[in-house]
Structures are given as C-alpha cells and as structure tokens.
A and B are shown apart, each in its own frame.
Chain A
Amino acid sequence: MEEFPPAPDVAGTSLDGTAIFTITADENAALCKSTGVEPASDGTAHPIYYYIATQVAMGKTVAGVCETCEFDVDDGPMMGSSGVRFAEQLMVGQDYKVTGEILSLVRKKSRKLGVMDVLTYRLRLHPAEGGDAVLETDNVWVLPRKELAA
C-alpha cells in the first residue's frame, strides 16, 4: 500500500497554444553558432527547434505546467527524456503553432530522489496556416516532491 497521496489528476489537460512561433534567420544563426555549427544554407532550421518552438508556443509556460501539476517550479523540475518524430524539416521564416496535452502524471518513489511525480506531455507543431503536424514530441519531466519525503 502506498504511504503517500496520489498525484493530481491532470491527464488530458490541454497545452494548445495561441502564440505563433517563427524561426528567424538571425536567431537560427545565433543558435547554430552557440552549439558549434554553421546554419544550413537551404532554409532549414536547426532541428533542436522542435523543443524550443513547442516549449515557447505551447499554451502554458513551464511554470504554468508545473502549477497545473501542483508543483512549484522553484522546487526544480528535471528533464527526464525527450523524443521527437519529424514529418518534415523545420524551416526558417515559417510560422508555426502548437497543439498538445498532458498524457500522464504518475507518482513514484525513487531511492535517489524520494517521492517524485513523472510528468509526460505531448506537443505537436503545425504550420500556423493549418495542416498536419510537422513534428510530434513527447517530453518527460521529473518533479521531486520534497514535501512528501519521509
């Protein structure tokens, strides 16, 4: 029998965004340089924009997602994993929008971290004018529940 209360029931919470995200040539160039490469000359953006665009243009901030999970962002959420499936390459100058949702929030006990909630959410990046997603990403965050530590 678990000795701690269940995680908040947040599965299904919408993360649809209203903001438009555009990868500018200047920012793409700066980002590429910051990671040690030159920007592509064919108009494609660095693929790490899968993470940036979806995080920045989703319907909640990181702090807001944490708040939905009844977790204080100042308590230090940790990235667990990130996966992406690209249908198309990301393009500089293209306007994008985000849809998505929280998939699950599961409370666990870890030898290293104590009680923690494992948050999984899915985001999709679409052309702003509409149409199928150009990518889908699943991110997993670990939310340490210090207040539930033994």
Chain B
Amino acid sequence: MSAFAHVKTGYALPPFVIESVSPDAMRDWSVFLADPNPIHLDVEVVKAKGLGDKRINQGPINVAYMMNMLMTAFPGCRIETMDSRFLDNVYEGDRVVASGEVTAVEGNRISCDLKLDVDGRGTVNAGTATIVI
C-alpha cells in the first residue's frame, strides 16, 4: 500500500513554519546567489529606498520555504514542476507559514496549490506544484 494512499484531492498539506525570518540567512543567501543587493543586508538602504524599515528576504528563499513544505509532506518524493508568483515582500522577523492543498492525484503524480503567508499581512507568494511519488 502506498505511503500516500491517504492523499486525495482536497487534502491539506501540513504547514511548514519559520518562526522568525533571519537576517543572518539573508547574508548567507547573498553569497549563495552571488548577489550583494543591500536591501537584503542593510536596513539603512531599505529606508533610503522607501521600502520599509527592515531587511527584505531574497525571493528565492520564500520559494525554498514552500519547497520544504512539499518535501516534508512527501518525503522521498521529487518535485517535477513548480510555479510561484511573488505578491509581496517578506521582511526580517516575519513569521511565515507555507501551506498547500492537493488539487489532483493522477497515477504517481500529485498536483498541489501552494501559498506562503506572513502573520498579519496575508499571502505573499502563491503557486502550484506537481510531485512525483
């Protein structure tokens, strides 16, 4: 019996939570991405650009949170496709929750809707994915 026999259309994927987005991680990602954009590193630059008063998480980190949610929900499986739309910024200190819902199960493929929510500000990233189990 498949380990995912319980997964049907409408199944809510277990959420993946980051309690507080870390500016230290942003510094690490500026190296991973070879992109030292100061809006991820320097609060004064963020203020000067009129973008708020906290460092802004790199967009791909937000995608990684949703990928982590998928990989935790479907251990040992692989992501085949994924699309995500960037709707708003995530800032240092934000509590973010990645969640999803199964929209179709066809053979060994599971399709899902995904979203990333920030406490108090709603959905900041949304997308879809297909998982091969």
Contact = CB atoms under 8 A, between A and B. Distances in A.
Contacts of B28: 30-31, 34
A7 interface: no
Contact of A84 (B68, B72, B82): B82
Interface residues of B, number: 33
Interface string A31-64: 1001111000000001110011001100001100
B49 A27 contact: no
Contacts of B59: 79, 82
Interface stretch (B2-10, B32-40, B100-108, B109-117): B32-40
A12 interface: no
Contact of B67 (A46, A85, A89): A46
Interface in B8-35: 16, 18, 22, 24-25, 28-29, 32-35
A86 B81 contact: yes
B16 A76 contact: no
Given A34-B28, A56-B34, A81-B85, A86 B80 contact: yes
Secondary structure dominating the interface of A: mixed
Nearest to A44: B78
A83 interface: yes
B17 to A, nearest CB: 8
Interface residues of A, number: 27
A55 B35 CA distance: 9
Contacts, number: 82
Contacts of B61: 34-35, 48
A48 to B, nearest CB: 4
A86 B33 contact: no
A48 B63 contact: yes
Interface of A: 27, 30-31, 34-37, 46-48, 51-52, 55-56, 61-62, 76, 78-86, 89
Given A36-B68, A62-B35, A82-B60, 15 more contacts: A31-B28, A31-B64, A34-B24, A35-B65, A37-B68, A37-B71, A48-B63, A48-B67, A56-B33, A61-B34, A81-B84, A82-B84, A83-B81, A84-B79, A85-B81
9 closest cross-chain pairs (CB), A and B: A83-B83, A34-B25, A48-B64, A79-B59, A35-B64, A51-B60, A81-B85, A79-B86, A56-B34
